[in-house]
Amino acid sequence: MDELESCARKNRILNAIPTSELHRLLALMERVQLYPRQVLERPGGGTEYIHFPIDGVLSMIASTREGDTVEVATVGNEGATGVIAMLSGSKQRAQQVPLVQVRALIPGAVVRMRVDAFEAAIERSSEVNRCVMRYLNVLFSQLVLSASCNRLHSLEQRCARWLLGCRDRTQFEEVPVTQELLAEMLGVRRQSVDHVLGELETKQMIECLRGSVKIHDVDSLRSVACECYPLAKERLDNSLT
C-alpha cells in the first residue's frame, strides 16, 4: 500500500485528496504500466476505468469515419481520463457511446480504478468532488482552446504549442514522438509536419531524432507558439494548487 500511495501522490488530483479519503481509494486502485499507443478507451466502447497518469501522458483523440484524426486534449499527471463519463450518471453512461479515443501518447505508469467506484467516492466525499471539479475546469479550458487553436492558428504555432505542452508534462527536453504521430495529433498530412519541423530545426530550436524531437531553444519555441500555449500552461500550473 505504501508503494501504491507513493505512486498515487505523483498525480495532482490524487495528491490533493485528504489522506484519510485517499487511503480508502487506494484499496480500490491498481498501478498499471502502459505501452506505446495503448488504447484505453475507444469510440463505441464503454468507459470502464478512470486513469490517473503518473509519469506517462495520455491523449484524447477525435476521429471521423474516413479515419482523419485530431487530438482534442492531452492529459498528464495533472489530471485523469474517464472523468467526463461520470457527469451523466451510471444509467445514462451505459447508454452513451464515447466520442473520443484515449490512448497512451507517452508510455508510463498510471493508477486506475473503476468508474463506478470513483463515482461513489465523489458522492461520498465533498473533498474528492472538489478536486474533480477543479480538474474538469482545467480540462474544459483545454477543450475550448483546442477547438479555437485548430481553426485559427497556423500549423507552425500549433506544432510549437504541442511540443512545449508535452515537455511541460514530462519535464524532458526530448519528446518521444514521430512525425507520423505528430501529424495524427495535429490533424494534418505527414508532409506538412515534416516541413514545419524542418523549418524549426533549421532555426536550431529543435532537433529531429529517430522516434523523437529534442527541444534545444525553449524560449524561441515559445515565441513561435500561439497565445493558447501560455493560457493552457497557466491553467495547468495552477491546477489543484
Domain ranges of the chain: 2-150, 154-225
The pLDDT-based confidence of 96 (bands split at 50, 70, 90) is: low
Q: pTM of the entire structure?
A: 0.90
Specify the CATH number of the domain 154-225.
1.10.10.10
Mean pLDDT computed over 139-161: 93
188/186 Cα distance (integer angstroms): 6
* Phi, psi (rounded to 5 degrees) for 171: 65, 25
Note the pLDDT of residue 220.
97
Note the pLDDT of residue 39.
93
The pLDDT-based confidence of 44 (bands split at 50, 70, 90) is: confident
Looking at the predicted structure, is the pLDDT value of residue 86 above 60? yes
216/185 Cα distance (integer angstroms): 22
**Structural fold of domain 2-150:** Jelly Rolls (2.60.120)
164/218 Cα distance (integer angstroms): 8
Mean pLDDT computed over 164-181: 93
Note the pLDDT of residue 103.
93
Other CB atoms within 10 Å distance of the CB of residue 217: 14
Mean pLDDT computed over 56-74: 90
For the chain, what percent of residues have pLDDT higher than 70? 93
Q: How many helices (H) and strands (E) would you count in the chain? A: 11, 10
